[in-house]
Structure 1
C-alpha cells in the first residue's frame, strides 16, 4: 500500500491525465487543493511512484502519465462507482420505460444509449435464445421447398430460421407439424430440449425434427451489439492502435469471450492486458452482468482508453445493467 501522500499525488495525476490526456507535471500537482507540499516534494514523490511502476515519464522533459498498475491501484483503492446525476438517471429510466418491441432492437438501442452516456464504445451481450422459455412456434410455408420456423420467446423475442420441406408437404401437414412442435416446446428452453416425441405420421415427424434442429442452431448464437465505436477512434492518436481496436471490435466471438471472461473472473474492470486481448492492450473494459430472475443472462460494458473516467463508467454500466435486467424480466 502507498502512504497517504503518494496516494494523493497518484490520484491527482490520474485525474488530471484523464481530463487532459497530457503528461502531468509536478508544478501542476503541487497547486492542487489537497496537495499541501512543495513542487520539489511532489517531484520526489512522483519519481518514487515512477520507480515503483505506478507512473511513467514518456520523455525526459515531460511530465508523468499513469501506467496500467497505477490505474489498477486507482480503481481498487481510490474510486467507487460514482452517482449519476439526476438528468442522466432520468434519461436511463425514461429509455427503459419506453422500450418496447423486439428484444434485439432494445439491446441495440441500449448499446447506443450506453455509448452516448459514457462517450466510449459500448458492448451489450444479450441472453442466448436457448436460455429463454418458448411461448409458441409456427412453421410457415415460403415456397414448395422452403418454410420458415418462427419462435416467439417469453421475453418477447421473435426468431426465425428457414428449413427445407418436401414438395408433397401440404398446408395440413405443415399445420400439424407446427402445432406438434409448438406443443412440445412451449414453456421449455431450447438448451434443455433434445427431441420432440414422435407421432404416427412420418412427414409430420420429419418437419418437426427439421424445425427443432433449426431452432437449436439458432438458439446457440450470441446476441452481441456494439455502439459508439467511433468514440474509440477519437480517443487514440496512433492510427495503428485505432485500426487494431476497431478490427477487434468487429470480431463478435472475441468480444463475447472478452466480456464473458471478465465477468466470469468476478471483475468489473479490466485494465490494459489484464483482459488478455493483445490488440486491446491500450484499452480498459468496464462490465456488469445482466441478471434476470437471479440468473446471469447477459452483460453490458464499455470499452475505451485506459484513461477513461472509471467512476462514471462504473456507475453508468451498473445502472444500465440493472435496468436492462428488470426490463427483460418484465418481458
Structure 2
C-alpha cells in the first residue's frame, strides 16, 4: 500500500492524464488541493512512484503518465463507480422503456447506447439460444425443397435456419410439424431437450426430428454486438494500434472469450495486459454480467484506452446491465 501522500499524487496524475492525455508535470500536481505539498516534494514523490512501477516518464523532459500498475492501484483503491447524472439516467431509462421488438435489435441498440454514453467501443453478449426456453416453432416453406425453421424464444429473440424438404412435404405437413414441435418444446430449453414424442405421423416425426437437429446447430451460437468502432479510432494516435484493436473487435470468438473470462474471474475491470489479449494491450475493458431470474445470461462492457474514465465507465456499465437484465426478464 502507498502512503497517503503518494496516493494523493498518484490519483492526481491519473485523473489529469485521463482528462488531458498529456504527460503530467510536478507543477500541475502541486496545484491539486488534496496534494498540498511543494513542487520539489512532488518531483521527489513522482520519481519514487516511477521507481515503484506506478508511473513512467515517456521523455526525459516531459511529465509522467500512469502505467497499468498505476491504473490498477487507482481502480482498486481510489475508485468507486460514479453516479450517472440525471440526464444520462433518464436517457438510459427512456431507452429501455421504449425497447420493443426482437431481442437482437435491442442488444444491437444497447451496444450503440453504451458507446454513445462512454465514448468507447461497446460489447454486448446476449444469451445463447441453448440457455433460453422456447416459446414457439414454425416451419415456413420457401420452395419445394426447402423451408425455414423459425424459433421464437421466451426472451423475445428469434432464430431462423434452413431445413431441406422431401417430396410430399407440403404446407399442410409443415403446419402439422409446427404444431407438434411447438407443443413438444414450449417452455423447454434446447440444451435439455432429448428425443421427441411421436406425433403418430411418420412424416411429421421425420420433419420434427430434422428441424430439432438443425435448431441444435444454432443453439450454441453466441450473440455478440459491438458498437463505437469510430470511438476507438479517435482514442489512439498510432494507426497500427487502431488497426490492431479494430481487427480484434471483428473476431467474435475473441470478444466473447475476453468478456467471459473477465466475468468468470470475478473482475469488473481488466487493464492492459491483464486480459491476456495482446492486440488489446493498450486497452482496458470494463464489464458487468446481465442477470435474468438470478442466472447470468449475458454481459455488457466497454473497451477503450487505459486512460479511460473508470468511475464513469463502471457506473454506466452497471446501470445498463441492470436495465437490460430487467428488460429481458419482462420479455
TM range (shorter): over 0.9
- 1:31 corresponds in structure 2 to 31
Indicate the residue corresponding to 2:40 in structure 1.
40
Question: Is 1:312 aligned to residue 323 of structure 2?
Answer: no
The structural deviation recorded for 1:171 is 2.4
Q: Which residue of 2 aligns with 1:156?
A: 156
SS in 2 for 1:58: coil
Normalized against structure 1, the TM-score is what?
A: 0.98
1:128/1:221 contact within 8 Å kept: yes
Corresponding position of 2:193: 193
Aligned length: 331
Residue 297, structure 1, aligned to residue 297, structure 2: yes
SS in 2 for 1:33: coil
Alignment of 1:69-108 (within 5 A): 69-108=69-108
- C-alpha contact (below 8 Å) 1:195/1:212 kept by paired residues: no
Structure 1 residue 202: deviation in Å? 2.7
Helix, strand or coil at the partner of 1:245: helix
Give CA-to-partner distance per residue, 1:83-103, whole Å, 9 cap, x none.
Answer: 000000000000000000000
Deviation by residue 1:267-312 (Cα, 9 ceiling, x = unmatched): 0000001001000000000000000000000000000000000000
CA distance in 1, matches of 2:175, 2:25: 75
Q: CA deviation at 1:167?
A: 2.2
Note the residue ranges of structure 2 that are not aligned, 5 or more in a row: none
Residues of 2 paired with 1:321 and 1:242: CA distance?
A: 27
Aligned to 2:209: 209
State how far apart, in whole Å, the 2-side matches of 1:211 and 1:159 are.
12
Q: Distance in 2 between matches of 1:85 and 1:257?
A: 32
CA contact (8 A) 1:268 1:286 kept: yes
CA distance in 1 between partners of 2:42 and 2:182 (Å) = 71
Return the alpha-carbon distance in structure 1 between the equivalents of residues 274 and 164 of structure 2: 46
Deviating runs (4+, > 6 A) in structure 1?
A: none
Matches of 1:195 and 1:50 in 2, distance apart? 64
What residue in structure 2 maps to residue 219 of structure 1? 219
Matched, 1:63 2:63: yes
Q: Is contact 1:287–1:317 with CA below 8 Å preserved after alignment?
A: yes
Counterpart Cα distance in 2 of 1:171 and 1:105? 30
Deviates further, 307-316 or 148-157: 148-157
Name the CA distance, whole Å, in 2 between partners of 1:172 and 1:86: 55
Most deviating of 155-164 and 110-119: 155-164
Runs of 5+ consecutive residues of structure 1 not aligned to the other structure: none
Deviations 1:63-110 (A, max 9, x none): 100000000000000000000000000000000000000000000000
Q: Residue 255 of structure 1 corresponds to which residue in structure 2?
A: 255
Matched, 1:271 2:274: no
| 2:323 is aligned with 1:323 | yes
Residues in 2 aligned to 1:203 and 1:152: alpha-carbon distance in whole angstroms: 23
Of 232-241 and 4-13, more deviation after overlay is shown by 232-241
The alignment's C-alpha RMSD in Å is: 0.9
Q: Contact 1:290–1:322 (CA<8 Å) still a contact in 2?
A: yes
TM superposition shift of 1:328 = 0.3
Deviation at 1:194, TM superposition (A): 2.9
| 3-state SS of paired residue (1:53) | coil
- 1:235 paired with 2:239, answer no
Displacement after TM superposition at 1:164 (Å): 0.1
Rounded Cα–Cα distance in structure 2 between residues aligned with 1:171 and 1:300: 41
Could you say what secondary structure the match of 1:296 adopts? strand
SS of alignment partner, residue 80 of structure 2 = coil
Distance 1:157 1:143 in 2: 25
**Structural mapping, 1:105-120, within 5 Å:** 105-120=105-120
